A = this chain, B = another copy of it.
């Protein structure tokens, strides 16, 4: 693609103006604190983005806790990679027992959610951790397997420098209210619909 001189000059002027706006914008943001982040929606990428955040935090030497509310002790790529590469920096608690249609036992699902929440509270109370991922906790909240008020109270009482990421579809409005950052992963197109199966390296 070619570029004439007038076009190049117009571009430079436009970008100089834009830089002034951007710089003022950046300068106006001065608060530093741990965040409450929510990844919700029906699309793919809610847990995966939390795992990407773990990778980023590891590069800064943070210690990280993960509590999985639905997934049990499955062999996933992300868990294996972290166990091999960062055994001292990541505490991974897969406390779930699988999907509700696998356990077919509500009392057991509720007990698993309570145990996972106890683990989450212990990790959040430990000042060694800077990032806690509560994976699929929104599912447990949605089915009332967990008490929303207890979760909100724990988030309100967290150390200011602790970041907590809560994932899962159908996030409760009260959780969205208290969150600093909320992303909805929206499903535009999914390969399952075209007959593609869940595959190692992509889905788990």
Contact = CB atoms under 8 A, between A and B. Distances in A.
Interface in A121-172: 130-131, 144-145, 147, 163
A128 B6 CA distance: 45
Interface in A25-63: 26, 28-33, 35, 38-41, 43-45, 47-60, 62
A73 to B, nearest CB: 15
A99 B25 CA distance: 15
A12 B52 contact: no
A10 to B, nearest CB: 9
B202 A163 contact: yes
B183 A188 contact: yes
Interface residues of A, number: 92
Judged by DSSP, the binding face of A is mixed
Given A144-B1, A201-B163, A180 B191 contact: yes
Given A49-B48, A106-B8, A196-B35, A186 B183 contact: yes
The 8 A-B pairs with the shortest beta carbon distances in the complex, nearest first, are A59-B77, A51-B52, A85-B85, A52-B52, A48-B52, A59-B80, A182-B188, A56-B77
Interface of A: 1, 3, 7-8, 11-12, 15-16, 18-19, 22, 26, 28-33, 35, 38-41, 43-45, 47-60, 62, 76-82, 84-86, 99-107, 110, 130-131, 144-145, 147, 163, 176, 179-192, 194-202, 204
